[in-house]
Amino acid sequence: MKNYRWFIVFMLLAATTINYVDRQVIGLLKPILEKEFNWTETDFARIVMAFSAAYAAGLLLMGRLIDRVGTKRGYSISVIIWSVAGMMHAVVRSVFGFAAVRMVLGIGEAGNFPAAMKAVSEWFPKKEKGLATGILNAGSSVGVVAALALVPWILNAYGWQEVFWITGALGFVWLAVWWIIYELPSKHKRVTRAELILIQDGQDKVEFPAPEIKWWELFRMRETWAVVTGKFLIDPIYWFFLFWLPSYFSTTFGLDLKKPSLPLMVIYAATTVGSVGGGYFSSWLIKKGWSVLRARKGALLVFAIFEFSVILVQFMTDVWFAVALLSLAVALHQAWATNIFTLASDLFPKESVSSVVGIAGMSGAIGGILFPMLIGYLLDHYKAAGNLQGGYYVIFTLCGFTYSVAWLIIHFLTRPKTVKGVVVGE
Supply the pLDDT for residue 205: 54
What tens digit of pLDDT does each residue of 61-79 get? 898 899 899 999 999 999 9
- φ/ψ of 424, rounded to 5, equals -130, 160
Q: Residue 186: CA atoms inside 13 Å, Cβ hemisphere, count? A: 4
Cα gap 198→194, rounded to integer Å: 6
Supply the pLDDT for residue 239: 75
What tens digit of pLDDT does each residue of 20-74 get? 999 888 887 887 898 899 988 778 878 878 888 898 889 888 988 998 999 999 9
pTM exceeding the 0.85 threshold for the entire prediction: no
What tens digit of pLDDT does each residue of 160-171 get? 999 999 999 999
- φ/ψ of 417, rounded to 5, equals -135, 165
Cα gap 123→196, rounded to integer Å: 9
Supply the pLDDT for residue 204: 53
Which domains, from first to last, does the chain contain?
Answer: 1-204 (1.20.1250.20), 205-426 (1.20.1250.20)
**CA neighbor of 179 nearest in space, from 291, 74, 315, 57:** 74
Q: Which letter does DSSP use for residue 187 in this model?
A: G
Note whether 191 and 183 are within 8 A (CB).
Answer: no
Q: Write out the H or E segment, with its range, that includes residue 417.
A: strand 417-419
Cα gap 174→76, rounded to integer Å: 10
Pairing outcome for strands 422-424 and 417-419: antiparallel
Supply the pLDDT for residue 347: 87
**DSSP three-state, residue 418:** strand
**Residue 215: exposure state from Cβ atoms within 10 A (0-12, 13-18, ≥19):** middle
Note whether 255 and 261 are within 8 A (CB).
Answer: yes
**CA neighbor of 271 nearest in space, from 366, 138, 98:** 138
The segments of the chain whose pLDDT lies below 70 read: 1, 202-212, 243, 256-261, 417-426
Cα gap 421→419, rounded to integer Å: 5
